[in-house]
Structure 1
Amino acid sequence: MNSLVIRPYTTSDESAVIQLWDACGLVRPVNDPLKDIQRKLQVQPELFLVAECTDTHALIGTAMVGYEGHRGWINYLAVAPHIQKQGLGRQIMDHAEQLLRQLGCPKINLQVRTNNHEVIAFYERLGFVRDDVVSLGRRLVVD
C-alpha cells in the first residue's frame, strides 16, 4: 500500500465515504448514511476519521469515533475491500485509540453483528473481548 494519512472527515469526502460503506456492506435500510454523516458532524466532528492514500487521494478507510465521558465508541470502521487484511484497519483503530486516550477515555465499546465472524475475529486480534452484556436499541428517529 502507498503512503497514507488518517485525518478528520471533510465535506468533500461525503460521496467517497458512502461508496466505501456500501462496498463494505455497512449501509442498512434503517441507517441512512447521509443522515448518519450529518449527525456526526454535529457531535465531535474531529473524531470522524478517514484514511486517504496520499499518492492517489483515494479514500480507503473510515471510522466514526465518539466519547461521551464514560465510554468511547467506534462505528463505521471500514477499509476498502481490495486492501483489507493489510493492516489499515489496525492503523485506524490505533489512531482512534490514541485520540480517545487523549480525551481520558477508559474503555472502548463497539458493536458487531453476531453473524459477522470475520470482523469479530479482527477485533479479537486487536485485544477486544466479548463483554457479558446484551445490546438494546430503540429508534428515536425513523430514517
Structure 2
Amino acid sequence: MTDKLPTLAIAPIDDADVADVVALWQACGLTRPWNDPAADIALARKESNATVLIGRDEDAIAATVLVGHDGHRGWVYYLAVDPVRRHRGYGRVMMAAAEEWLRRRGIEKLQLLVRADNSQVRGFYQALGYSEPERVIFAKWLDGRAPTP
C-alpha cells in the first residue's frame, strides 16, 4: 500500500444518515446491547466537543468515526468501514480525519479502547503508530446495573 490515502468525502453526520450509520455499525459488529447506538449519535451531536464523521464513496456511506474530547484527551469510537469496501484504506482516512478534527480543537492526545481479543483491529492501530500503554481501566454503571464485559 502506498502512503497516499484514498479520497472520501468527509462531513459530519446529518439527520437523514442516522439509520444508515446505525445499520453500518451493526453490520460491523460494533454495537453492544448495553449501548444504544442512536443515543450515542444523539449525544455526540448534542455538544460541540464531539461529532460523528461520515466518509462517502460517491453517494454511499463507506466509513464512519465518532470522535470527541474531554478538553484534555481525544477519544475515538465506532470506527467502521462498510464490509464490502474494506482494505481500501478507508479506516486510515477516517482516523486521519478524526485526528485532524481534534488538532483543530487544540487536543494533542488521542486515545481509544479496543477489546483485548480483537487482534485484527489492534494490528490496524499499531500500523497507524498507536501504542498500547499499560493501564487498568475501572468502570461503573451510574444507574446501578451490573458490570458489563
Task: Choose from 82, 85, 91 the match for 1:83.
Answer: 85
Instruction: Give the stretch that moved more between structures: 120-129 or 28-37.
Output: 28-37
User: Which amino acid counterpart does residue 29 of structure 1 have in structure 2?
Assistant: P
Contact 2:44–2:50 (CA under 8 A) maintained in structure 1: no
Contact 1:9–1:48 (CA under 8 A) maintained in structure 2: yes
Q: Distance in 1 between matches of 2:75 and 2:20?
A: 22
Q: Distance in 1 between matches of 2:21 and 2:10?
A: 14
User: Which amino acid counterpart does residue 135 of structure 2 have in structure 1?
Assistant: V
Is 1:53 matched with 2:67? no
Contact 1:8–1:45 (CA under 8 A) maintained in structure 2: no
**Runs (5+) with no aligned partner, structure 1:** none
Contact 2:49–2:68 (CA under 8 A) maintained in structure 1: no
1:105-132 superposed Cα distances (whole Å, 9 cap, x missing partner)? 1110000111110001000000000011
User: Which amino acid counterpart does residue 100 of structure 1 have in structure 2?
Assistant: L
Residue 66 of structure 2 aligns to a residue in which SS?
Answer: strand
Q: Check 1:58–1:45 CA distance in 2 against 1; reply closer, same or farther (3 A cut).
A: farther
Q: How many residues align?
A: 139
CA displacement at 1:43 relative to structure 2:
2.4
Contact 2:114–2:122 (CA under 8 A) maintained in structure 1: yes
Q: Distance in 2 between matches of 1:6 and 1:135?
A: 32
Aligned-residue CA RMSD (Å) = 1.7
Contact 2:28–2:81 (CA under 8 A) maintained in structure 1: yes
Q: What TM-score, normalized to structure 2?
A: 0.87
Q: Check 1:45–1:14 CA distance in 2 against 1; reply closer, same or farther (3 A cut).
A: farther
**Runs (5+) with no aligned partner, structure 2:** 1-5
Aligned pairs (5 A) from 1:79-118 = 79-118=81-120
Contact 1:9–1:50 (CA under 8 A) maintained in structure 2: yes
1:5-57 superposed Cα distances (whole Å, 9 cap, x missing partner)? 01101110011101100010001101111111111121237631011122xx1
Bigger relative CO (Cα 8 Å, ≥ 6 apart) = 1
Is 1:30 matched with 2:25? no
Q: Distance in 2 between matches of 1:88 and 1:52?
A: 10
CA displacement at 1:89 relative to structure 2:
0.4
Which residue of 1 is the match for residue 8 of structure 2? 4
Q: What TM-score, normalized to structure 1?
A: 0.90
Aligned pairs (5 A) from 1:116-131 = 116-131=118-133
